[in-house]
Chains A and B, each alone.
Chain A
């Protein structure tokens, strides 16, 4: 039996049933989300009925059947434009997951670099960098996000018009979301990493490396940052749901994904818009909302499981 700390942690993780099931659920979700378009293309090759089925399940396919409740034909019902909600939700899943993962990645890069540099440099550099983090903490993040996204948009609109491709505007929105969401979510990561680095840089192996003549960049890249990875990965799994949530909030504001693109947040927002006291279109909110909640649950269970297995506490 091998018994490295990593393997012991892995075995602890496998004993945590909710976390393991959540991991399987997430894997299945990603598989379905990515495989569905391929499956549709295959089905469309099977005669006219197959083609009709595939056509009906295009996320942008409009139809006369508006506000259909869930049925055998439309499992999740249809929306205001008669689009199949199941296909919309599948498409939204793709965008929400992508935003969550890439946004968390951006926050990871900024947070780890910021925290590692502050912690390693120490002294005045450290206190200036961390005071900056404190100040950003005390600004309402929504103001920061709005300013960031509108600025990026203004800059890119001019630039795209300059190179004669103004129609690219819609897909660059996604890029701004990555940057904007990452830029407001790195603060806690920076604090956690800094705390880790502060204790790591006193260790003997770092001292030894320094004595052998390694420069600060080499020490950070080879010895310090790899040793913070455990905590960073744990915190990352908890950042992804937070960013997915934030994206849904921005989409609700109209700052996120623009139609005809969709995310779970924008689907819920569309559903909330259709709410009135005469008719209840519950499926418009229940299905995208249910998917969102289930995914967030799975991500949180997974993050908790990883945290318990590696026994890291929210230090920082």
Chain B
């Protein structure tokens, strides 16, 4: 019941976010046609603007964006004006959905790979550093975790390319296509998050290992592995689960730095370029996509909490 209510609340929330994003991008100076060849005359510029209704008040434009405008034509008949959300102002022979449909699969597969990499590295590192607390494995693992948090993709990606692609020629330098192309971007994108996840996992394990039910499980005579893996792990992974929500929303919508260094045609590039180009409809659509992903992911995270930790209840 609780989750149904949250699901229903998503829609008005997204509507509000779209309104906020829409006004935000329109407030910024400059328009989508500024960086093109200067129009021959002010009349032409005005005509282009009028064609895309950029000369109307922002509120009316927003209504048009959603397709809530009816107009009277020359004959005096009322017509429904088509919704403008699907018209890219920069690439005018492509629709917004077509551009997103092109970039999203790329960003999503790279994002999922990086997410898998981050989990695959971060969870074991966090687990073992906590279990071996105070031993050298802990120091080495914890140092690795904090180190990769401090190395931005901006530094990792060129270094990986220089070593693994240019010097030793193991992987291709850039572009997207074969599985081999995905390895370096996956590592460059996922490394930072593996450090974050390792730290969360370690903290979660340390906290859980002190709780009474673990002491009780040990007292019952359960083996150390059963205690840690079956009982502690389940709760210790919760911080990682709640971090995964926003993380996935972030990763699936692409990363500008990684995409531009490896020349991958994903959404991260679109996100930055559309805001720089004042491609209003594109920017708002991408912001909405991100927000929708984030909200849905957070909902899933809360749902996962109920499954993993039976003590959690939402009314």
Any B CB within 8 A of the CB of A214: no
| A277 CB contact (under 8 Å) in B13, B21, B151, B166 | B166
Any B CB within 8 A of the CB of A196: no
A139, B275: Cβ atoms closer than 8 Å = no
> Given that A135-B17, A142-B271 are contacting pairs, would A253 and B256 also be in contact in the complex, using a CB cutoff of 8 Å?
yes
- Nearest B residue to A286, CB-CB: B159
Q: Give the residues in chain A near B13, CB-CB below 8 Å.
A: 135
With both chains docked as a complex, state the minimum distance between the C-beta of A20 and any C-beta of chain B, in angstroms. 16
Query: What bracket does the count of chain A residues touching chain B fall in?
Result: 35 or more
B150, A293: Cβ atoms closer than 8 Å = yes
B29, A155: Cβ atoms closer than 8 Å = yes
- Nearest A residue to B207, CB-CB: A313
- Nearest A residue to B261, CB-CB: A272
Interface residues in A135-155 (C-beta closer than 8 Å to B): 135, 137-140, 142-144, 146-147, 150-151, 154-155
With both chains docked as a complex, state the minimum distance between the C-beta of A241 and any C-beta of chain B, in angstroms. 7
- Nearest B residue to A244, CB-CB: B152
Comparing A3-11, A110-118, A218-226, A294-302, the segment that makes contact with chain B is: A294-302
Q: Give the residues in chain A near B147, CB-CB below 8 Å.
A: 293, 297
Interface residues in B8-32 (C-beta closer than 8 Å to A): 13, 16-17, 20-21, 24-25, 27-30
Interface residues in A277-301 (C-beta closer than 8 Å to B): 277, 280, 282, 285-286, 289, 292-293, 296-297, 300-301
Any B CB within 8 A of the CB of A25: no
B152, A292: Cβ atoms closer than 8 Å = yes
Any A CB within 8 A of the CB of B98: no
- The total number of A-B Cβ pairs within 8 Å is 112
B29, A285: Cβ atoms closer than 8 Å = no
| A135 CB contact (under 8 Å) in B20, B157, B261 | B20
- Nearest A residue to B169, CB-CB: A277
A143, B166: Cβ atoms closer than 8 Å = no
Interface string of B293-304 (1 = CB under 8 A from A): 011000000000
Any B CB within 8 A of the CB of A59: no
Any A CB within 8 A of the CB of B276: yes
Any A CB within 8 A of the CB of B63: no
Taken together as a complex, chains A and B put the C-alpha atoms of A143 and B157 apart, in Å, by 23
Q: Give the residues in chain A near B312, CB-CB below 8 Å.
A: none
- Identify 7 residue pairs between A and B in the complex whose beta-carbon atoms are under 8 Å apart, listed by A's number: A138-B17, A143-B21, A143-B271, A143-B283, A249-B257, A252-B257, A285-B158
Closest CB pairs A-B (n = 6): A154-B29, A296-B150, A289-B155, A138-B291, A146-B275, A147-B28
A residues with CB within 8 A of B: 135, 137-140, 142-144, 146-147, 150-151, 154-155, 241, 245, 248-249, 252-253, 265, 268-269, 271-272, 275, 277, 280, 282, 285-286, 289, 292-293, 296-297, 300-301, 304
